[in-house]
Each structure stands twice: as structure tokens, then as C-alpha cells.
Amino acid sequence: CPGKTPPGARRAGGLPGRGAGCGRVGGNLTMGGFCAQSAHTGLAAALDLPFPPVSGNHGVRHAGGNHYLNPKTGAYRAAVAAEVAALGLHRLRLTGPLRMHLVIHPPDRRRRDLDNLMKQLGDALVAAGVLADDSMGVIQAGGWEVMAPESPGMISVRLSWA
């Protein structure tokens, strides 16, 4: 990998993986921690994060001109920030253009709106310092795969340069 791996980088959540650094598997750039490529091609960041506890509709409330964060949303953002900091990605502030690919492992079989899930995830990545913004100017393309339910749930996020 032409980029630098931060000291002590590891795969988030203690999940099995390749460990820190980048490699090529089947012609695709893969990683278990972090990779920033100087030519802005390939993988920018990869994280395995917990599943958001509430939907985007219930995460933030507004009343009387004030902005109130649901306590579960605050705890989720703190958990994401801890994972990001453990990987050394908290100062990336990627500005794009990026592609975001998600592999979603919901915690149960309940139906969920994808846009509400994306709202919680995008806001958490901005708050943690991975993304400068979660607008369409930064994330210009994306995709997702929904896998079989897996308790307690997880989302694998792969950000690559568009």
C-alpha cells in the first residue's frame, strides 16, 4: 500500500480480519485498518462498526430552537468515535469525492428504512472525524448489501475514492 498505516492500527471491534495494513486479494485492494493512497485511488478507509440503536427519525429532536440528541444516539456516536480513534482515523476528515459501500448485518429480522440507517451512520462518522461532511458533495456514490441477521448487529463501512 502506498499510504501509511497509523501505529497500532487494528481492525475495529476485534473482529477477525487481515489486521492493519493493505493487501491485494483477487486484484482488489483490501485492508483491515487504514490506507490512504496518495493518488486518491482505491480504498480510503474501512471500519466495522456497531449497528445503530435507533433510527434517524428518533435520533435527534428539535424543540424551542434547541437540538436534543437521544441518549442512545449519543452513546452510539461515542462508540463509533472510540472505534475510529482506536484505528487512528479520527483526524481523516475525508472531503471526497467518495464511494461508500456498506455490508449491513442487522441485529434481528425487523424491517428498517435504509435512509434512517444511513443518517445515523453518516452523522456518527462526521462526529468521529472520519468524514468532513456527509453530504452528496462528499459521498457521491454508494451501495449496500443486507446480510442475514447477526446479534448484536454490525455495519462494515468501506470508503473509497470516487
pTM over 0.85: no
Q: How far apart are CA 69 and CA 161, in angstroms?
A: 31
Residue 65's φ and ψ, nearest 5 degrees, are 80, 5
**Dihedral of CA 83/155/34/160: which sign?**
negative
Among 52, 48, 56, residue whose Cα is nearest residue 113: 56
Divide the 162 residues of the chain into consecutive groups of 10 and give the mean pLDDT of each group. 38 35 32 42 87 73 76 90 91 90 94 88 93 91 93 93 88
Q: How far is CA 150 from CA 103, 108, 109, 153, in A?
A: 12, 7, 9, 5
Q: How far apart are CA 53 and CA 19, in angstroms?
A: 27
- pLDDT given for residue 80 in this prediction: 94
Helices (H), 68-138: 71-87, 114-128
